[in-house]
Amino acid sequence: MVESRIYTAALVVIGDEILSGRTHDKNIAQVASWLQIQGIRLKEVRVVADDMAAIAEAVNALRARNDYLFTTGGIGPTHDDITVDAIAAAMGVDVIVHPEARAILEGYYETRGGLTDARLRMARVPEGASLIPNRYTGAPGIRAENVFIMAGVPQITSGMLDALSGTLEGGAVLLCETVGCWVQESEVADLLRATEKAHETCQIGSYPFWRDGRTGANFVIRSVEPEDLAACCRALAEGLDAMDRPAIPGGI
């Protein structure tokens, strides 16, 4: 079997409010889920402060070793929204006011008090960048090379992801199934290892939990090959049943 190309992405979550705990990030899960549908693997996530050097370092490190890099946060109208400046510095280009972004904002704010200097900041992009539509507030996201610069507000991020759907090159979609069992991980470690080894295109993740005074685990099997995934799930379930630890399809 010829191994299909695996496309990877990273995510940089930007904001002091995330690191302080004042805001609970919701974008990691939705970006990861969206990428999976596009056939792209989210390989790593980094959370950084509103700091020019920290943002630039993270962007340059992660965009170099992944096909795509996404950032969320720091593209609003206030003085601490420095993501565009930091990414432009990382890429060695100037920051410009994108004419199309300016026109979009002028139209959006025409009946909302006009386009102020603060609002105009949301039209600033690294030179050479293109725009990602934003159907909620007008202020667009930005694509600069393989970097996608998006808002931190989850609803707006979701809309920007929708606008990008189907536009990025990806590989086979990563499929997954879950098998649950009331068992301690240590009891089935050898079974998990042997099952994964016997099914080379599959990976098995083990996620233990404690509920109602009982110990259990959900085993998530992932593969890009549907038939291999089904075979691996069957083998794991049969192995658990043989140990008198009944498998629960779909998880607990």
Whether the predicted pLDDT of 3 surpasses 60: no
Collapsed DSSP state (helix, strand, coil) of residue 215: strand
Q: Do residues 83 and 71 make contact, with C-beta atoms less than 8 angstroms apart?
A: yes
Q: Do residues 190 and 169 make contact, with C-beta atoms less than 8 angstroms apart?
A: no
Residue 169 has phi, psi (to 5 degrees) of -80, 130
Collapsed DSSP state (helix, strand, coil) of residue 153: coil
Burial 122-136 (b: 16+ CB within 10 A, else e): bbbbbeebebbebee
Whether the predicted pLDDT of 2 surpasses 80: no
What integer pLDDT is reported at residue 250 of this predicted model? Answer: 95
Q: Do residues 83 and 44 make contact, with C-beta atoms less than 8 angstroms apart?
A: no
Burial 218-238 (b: 16+ CB within 10 A, else e): bbebbbbbeebbebbbebbbe
Rounded Cα–Cα distance for residues 81 and 86 (Å): 10
Rounded Cα–Cα distance for residues 99 and 251 (Å): 51
Rounded Cα–Cα distance for residues 139 and 105 (Å): 6
Residue 135's pLDDT band (boundaries 50, 70, 90)?
A: confident
| Predicted confidence (pLDDT) per residue in 161-198, tens digit | 999 999 999 988 889 999 999 999 999 999 999 999 99
Which of 1-10, 94-103, 148-157 has the lowest average pLDDT? 1-10
Whether the predicted pLDDT of 109 surpasses 60: yes
